[in-house]
Structure 1
């Protein structure tokens, strides 16, 4: 049924039927929160054996102070995820977001080569729809965000090149190059090559390259251009600071995180961390190395085998939602949706009624990510985008949640059409 072709009378009848179903669902007292991309209990159990490993036999004194940048094998492990050399890796605590916050703070207080960011005049380019916590960090630090359109192959590189070449107050840009949050976009070779060639007017401009989903395929393995190789080709090695963690590989609250960077960035950040800590949790680093790798030669293959177990759990959940969307909306163009090949999210583009849909879902017991949160300052110019996080619930819960979501999408679309007609 195509709502766009229905008469007002037909829309009224359809709305009446949908509202009756909605009232019935509300009586069921369904409760589910799919607002965040949390690994499910089944996924977390994949790594429980890590806690039973004997980590006392390798000779490194992992129980004492020291080894600021992390134990060598942990740096090697994270270098595979980051795409840089192990000598370019700094191991952190359990959160890559915390490392991003550290780096921003450091650029304000000390900078690189004594070039600090101006607390009163610093801007970031923010590809959107994007990751709400990136935007929240900018707001927290008072960084002005400039929205950049996200296309199917990455952010609008023409606009990026134009802006960074002219405005010295633009100091950074967020990038999630593989399975971007929330749409699952994969940066094309061309986009990555052009990013690596950027010549910003500010010498302290940095790209915050968030490799959150670099090994998180849902289906077949996908490779993207290596940003570190590209910036080296272009004699531009200070341009990128990369981040990653094992939060969605092992334990979301108990993984390890890392920074990958070169040249002045690496020297400056090492110096910064030497004042902040005498070393992060080497016990946890050792656990992760022993659990995720068999030897230095097979890290990539070991990671792949482990992540296949995650994809086997996640894939049916994504497929279920995508199939239900296709069934309900392939001939009813009030909704379009992403079809991610990896990562943790599906994004949907509604008929200009995202806030209304989120509100209706909440009334029915389904909590979604706040409408607008995929844009700087929570300002979705078209009130259209919603993020869905299928990872945490069971398949049965996902099925019920999708039914509620589809119902709310249809109700809000008809109400919108009726308002336009009047």
Structure 2
């Protein structure tokens, strides 16, 4: 066991390291999972569109119409998103926008299988696996939807908790899921978790799974992770309308000029289009055509994502290498080693995350706010820090992670000594 004298000496060294860090006057940003300029350069060919502006069937794409989106593009992404082409829609540039619209449409109109509009319910609640994605929580907060945290496990949400909550409370209308390389833990849902989500009985007849498959093709390991087909399983268990699937090319091509996808049952697609037609006469089909000609087919998509992995995999390796060197044998922290996605989750001693983030900010290293991975920005245990390593160049990333490790050592050792 480490003595107080040894801990004090370690804390004093950490304090000296931190003072030197602050003196460097850094200005580094690890707040959001953005593609780096090198990744964006991979899609530069999008801007070199050649040939007639027509679809494969001869449709003039310069004109109105085509709410379903280009069939050729839906074909490219059908397997990756596990949605039949005829049940997959290609829309604007943002899947977050589609998730927002799905909530608003459900608030204002009755879902297939529902008894009334959500806005007419005395309460609406969503299950939120934690740690999770802060922008999901933002949609719920905007519309007064109660958020109920559910613990994440190594196989996905704790299904014993999920099954109990959806069975006993008709106010629970949905659950947020990032099933592959989840944000921020990098968890891949097991086949059993997906099956239980699809098969479980719910008190709300219009319960929906918001299946945000944002990282469906964002692999880092040589062997891509696979997940069970939730749409097929839901239909198999008599709940064909249960799942809304979302995805996008935001981290595949250009983050602000990509294509978003919505997939679901035929009944849900009809419901969706009946509302979308009131707000749009059709998506940007020229941009969709760019994506078709750039990616070409599903194999072209896989090859393009391999180039992405070649750019960002070394950055994930840098984070793991530095955290191992700085914190690996200290017992002061643990972190994930994801096989894909965009984030690494760093776990520090209870009650330390906010202080670590504050110390890092004071040293010029911006991180996602502590608590952002939980509903209402409140993680009671105050332990989780999300690291977004993709955007900085390697030298900046190395500096930032080394500095973050210094902050962890200082805060955690202070807490140990004051316990």
**TM-score, normalised on structure 2?**
0.96
Distance across 1 between alignment mates of 2:53 and 2:391: 36
Match of residue 301 from structure 1:
299
Superposed CA RMSD:
1.2
| Cα deviation code 1:169-223 (max 9, x no counterpart) | 1000000000000000000011011111022111111000001000000112221
Once the two structures are overlaid, the 10-residue window that deviates more, 77-86 or 353-362, is 77-86
Find the aligned partners of 1:17 and 1:224 in 2 and give their Cα distance: 46
Does residue 226 (structure 1) correspond to residue 229 (structure 2)? The answer is yes
The reply to whether residue 285 of structure 1 matches residue 284 of structure 2 is: no
Q: Secondary structure at the match of 1:33?
A: strand
CA contact (8 A) 1:55 1:287 kept: no
Long gaps (5+) in structure 2: none
Shift of 1:57: 5.0
Q: In structure 2, how many angstroms separate the alpha carbons of the residues matched to 1:413 and 1:25?
A: 17
Residue 253 (structure 2) aligns with: 250
Partner residue in 1 for 2:385: 386
Aligned to 1:290, the other structure's residue is in SS state helix
Runs of 4+ in structure 1 displaced over 4 angstroms?
none
Paired with 1:282 and 1:57, the residues of 2 have a C-alpha distance of: 9
* Counterpart position of 1:33: 29
User: 1:296 — aligned with what?
Assistant: none
Once residues 195 and 87 of structure 2 are traced to their aligned partners in structure 1, the CA distance between those partners, rounded to angstroms, is 21
Segment drifting more, 336-345 vs 14-23? 14-23
Question: Is 1:264 the counterpart of 2:262 in the alignment?
Answer: no
For residues 274-295 of structure 1, the C-alpha deviation after alignment (integer angstroms, 9 at most, x for no partner) is 11111011011110111112xx
Unaligned residue ranges in structure 1 (runs of 5+): 294-298
1:326 paired to 2:358: no
C-alpha distance 78-111 of structure 1, shift in aligned 2 (>3 A): farther
Worse-superposed segment, 155-164 or 382-391: 155-164
- The one of 215, 224, 228 equivalent to 1:213 is 215
CA contact (8 A) 1:81 1:211 kept: no
Q: Quick check: 1:74–1:285 contact (8 Å CA) kept in 2?
A: yes
Q: Is the counterpart of residue 118 in structure 1 residue 114 in structure 2?
A: no
Equivalent residues in 2 for 1:42-61, closer than 5 Å = 42-56=38-52, 58=54, 59-61=58-60
Deviation string, structure 1 residues 210-262 (Cα, Å, up to 9, x no partner): 01000000112221111122112212110000000000100111100010011
Among 292, 308, 316, the alignment partner of 2:314 is 316
User: Match of 1:10?
Assistant: 6
The question of whether the paired residues in 2 share the 8 Å contact of 1:117 and 1:204 is answered with no
Aligned to 2:354: 355
From 174, 177, 181, the counterpart of 1:175: 177
CA contact (8 A) 2:53 2:61 kept: no
TM-score, structure 1 normalization: 0.95
Q: 1:273 aligns with which of 268, 276, 284?
A: 276
Check whether the contact 1:340–1:346 (CA below 8 A) recurs between aligned residues.
Answer: yes
Deviation at 1:321, TM superposition (A): 0.7
* Structure 1 residue 380, shift from structure 2 partner: 0.7
